[in-house]
Amino acid sequence: MAFYKKQFNERHNVYYPVAVTVGKPVETKEVAERLSQISTVSKSDVAAVLGDLPAVLADLMKQGKSVRLEGLGTFRYTLDTEGVENEADFDLQKQLKAVRVQFTPAKEGGTTKGSTATRSLVPTGIEWIELSPSAAATEDPGTGEDGGQEESPL
């Protein structure tokens, strides 16, 4: 089950449902445990590979590549920059505010005209339950597309 809460948008004067995460993020150790349960690989082997994944992705992306992990999605660098009016003032180092990683979930289906594609990380039939205001106050959930995570340093 997934959670949502009602959020008021003052600019448009309407309420929107917003996805909410509760509790602490699931750590690599638990992901490794679950992956080892459904495969022939040990938990420590899975954890070792997951631990090396960020460095491998960063190395490939700094070569100007995007990285597609089948069934998961594609990772690529994007830039947060400031513009300049005159081309003579163009200086990447002065204009660059941040380098970010954009993740685009993989699609399933929808390869022919008129068919429907779905994101592999977004299964059909998600059960959405409204998070009560009292639970939201005690859980301190994150909201929005980034799942309540802090801004990425990449």
Neighbours of 8 (CB within 10 A): 9
pLDDT of residue 110: 56
Which residues have CB under 8 Å from 20's CB, separation 6+? 3, 4, 5, 131, 136, 141, 142, 143, 148
Report pLDDT digits (tens) over 75-116: 999 999 999 999 999 999 999 999 999 999 988 765 566 655
Tell whether the torsion through CA atoms of 34, 35, 41 and 47 is positive or negative.
Answer: negative
Cα–Cα distances in Å, from 25 out to 39, 52, 67? 23, 19, 24
The model carries a pTM of 0.69
- In this prediction, residue 146 carries a pLDDT of 44
Task: Determine the pLDDT at residue 127.
Answer: 87
Over range 53-82, report the average pLDDT: 95
Q: What is residue 91's predicted lDDT score, i.e. its pLDDT?
A: 95
What is the rounded distance in angstroms from the CA atom of residue 138 to the CA atom of residue 125?
28
Higher model confidence: residue 82 or residue 135?
Answer: 82
Q: Calculate the alpha carbon distances from 65 to 54, 59, 131 in Å.
A: 14, 9, 40
With bands split at pLDDT 50, 70 and 90, how would you rate the model's confidence at 142? low
User: What digits encode the pLDDT tens for the residues 19-50?
Assistant: 999 899 999 999 999 999 999 999 999 999 99
Q: What is the dihedral of CA 127, 133, 137, 142, to 10 degrees?
A: 40
